[in-house]
Amino acid sequence: MDAVGRLKEKGVKVVFVLGGPGSGKGTQCANIVRVFGFTHLSAGDLLRAEIKSGSENGTMIQNMIKEGKIVPSEVTIKLLEKAMLENGNDKFLIDGFPRNEENRAAFEEVTKIEPEFVLFFDCPEEEMERRLLGRNQGRDDDNIETIRKRFKVFLESSLPVVDYYNLKGKVRKVDAAKPIDDVFESVKVIFSNFSKKGA
């Protein structure tokens, strides 16, 4: 049985986590994992791990990133599928993916899975900028020009994905400008309701 069949058989439930850079996705994902028992998969982390592994696939990904190209959807989706199959859990938060409409369509096409819902961290640009500049975690991409470019990419590419799922009634929007604990209170309500529905 191929990966698709196995994921279906496993009854995998997926929640996409979207939000601009600095909207607090990582922090809240860690909370959701702790309280609701989901497994957190970050598309970026999986790609970085694949590059580190030194595999042929990893070398190809590294070269594409070096050349400023977008890694093909199929490559990222295969890594996500593999991670979901190798994990004993059946509830996954997928963070930072789909980045655009093409990613979204390819994910549903390849995995035959639609997300249960999309958790969207809505945060004003000024607030995200303030957080990113303040966090100084040694990420060399946290300077003002790069940050603004990342916002632009997010707005142009990822918001259409949010709009698409919004039309299907699948977006759960959270005001991410609030303090971390307040944001998690909102997140808890969403996930508690979801759990009640027999997830």
Binding site members for ATP: 22-27, 135, 178
**Which string of DSSP letters, residue by residue, matches 114-170?**
--SEEEEEE--HHHHHHHHHHH--S-TT-SHHHHHHHHHHIIIIIHHHHHHHHHTT-
* Binding-site annotation: residue ranges for a ribonucleoside 5'-phosphate: 48, 69-71, 96-99, 139, 150
* Binding-site annotation: residue ranges for CMP: 103
* Binding-site annotation: residue ranges: 22-27, 48, 69-71, 96-99, 103, 135, 139, 150, 178
Task: Retrieve residue 142's tokens.
Answer: 């946290």
Q: Are 43 and 84 in contact (CB under 8 A)?
A: no
**Which string of DSSP letters, residue by residue, matches 36-82?**
H--EEEEHHHHHHHHHHTT-HHHHHHHHHHHTTPPPPHHHHHHHHHH
| Nearest by Cα to 131 from 30, 21, 32, 31 | 21
